[in-house]
């Protein structure tokens, strides 16, 4: 069983100006900051979404997160996580947009929109697409 998670550990370090620098460990270039830890983590979550979106648009792999090992973690929103999971499922199974569209009985443009990080896609459509790609969407809720 393949389980895909998008909770990435973050290293927090103060800079010389008293701000907190947040670096998402597993994603090169995913660095931001905030005035305190809470703001730095919120900014890191936004930066994570941007990196995931960029990788999807460019057709690149998305590295899996490493173990948190006591570090705080950030995760993208549910829709971006589902889109990233669909992107990875299609890559892993070598399923193109046209093939997935045929499995779903929709036009290829519909699949293209599902994979577009900027397009508002209903979670139910992503759940169906993941099913057609051999995956099951499971949502976990954790304490904040």
- For the chain, the farthest-separated pair of C-alpha atoms sits apart, in whole angstroms, at 56
- 12 and 63 share a domain? yes
96 occurs within a structural domain: yes
This prediction's pTM: 0.90
Q: What tens-digit pLDDT sequence spans the chain (144 residues)?
A: 567 889 999 999 999 999 999 999 999 999 999 999 999 999 999 999 999 999 999 988 899 999 999 999 999 999 999 999 999 999 999 999 999 999 999 999 999 999 999 999 999 999 999 999 999 999 888 777
> Do 63 and 82 have their domain in common?
no
Q: Are residues 13 and 61 in the same domain?
A: yes
Domain that holds residue 124: 78-132
User: What 8-state DSSP symbol labels residue 35?
Assistant: S
Count Cβ neighbours within 10 Å for each residue of 64-98 and write b for 16 or more, e otherwise: ebeeeeeeebbbbeebbbbbbbbbbbbeeeebeee
> How many structural domains compose the chain?
2
Burial class (CB in 10 A: 0-12, 13-18, 19+), 2: exposed
């Amino acid at each position: 069983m393949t389980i895909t998670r998008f909770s990435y550990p973050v290293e927090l370090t103060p800079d010389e100006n008293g701000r907190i620098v947040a670096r998402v460990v597993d994603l090169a270039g995913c660095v931001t900051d905030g005035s305190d830890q809470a703001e730095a983590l919120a900014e890191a979550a936004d930066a994570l979404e941007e990196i995931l979106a960029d990788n999807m648009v460019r057709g690149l792999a998305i590295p899996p997160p490493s173990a948190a090992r006591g570090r705080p973690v950030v995760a993208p929103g549910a829709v971006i996580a589902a889109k990233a999971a669909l992107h990875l499922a299609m890559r892993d199974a070598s399923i193109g947009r046209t093939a997935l569209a045929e499995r779903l009985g929709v036009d290829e443009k519909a699949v293209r929109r599902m994979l577009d990080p900027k397009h508002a896609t209903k979670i139910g459509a992503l759940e169906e697409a993941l099913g057609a790609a051999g995956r099951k969407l499971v949502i976990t809720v954790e304490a904040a």
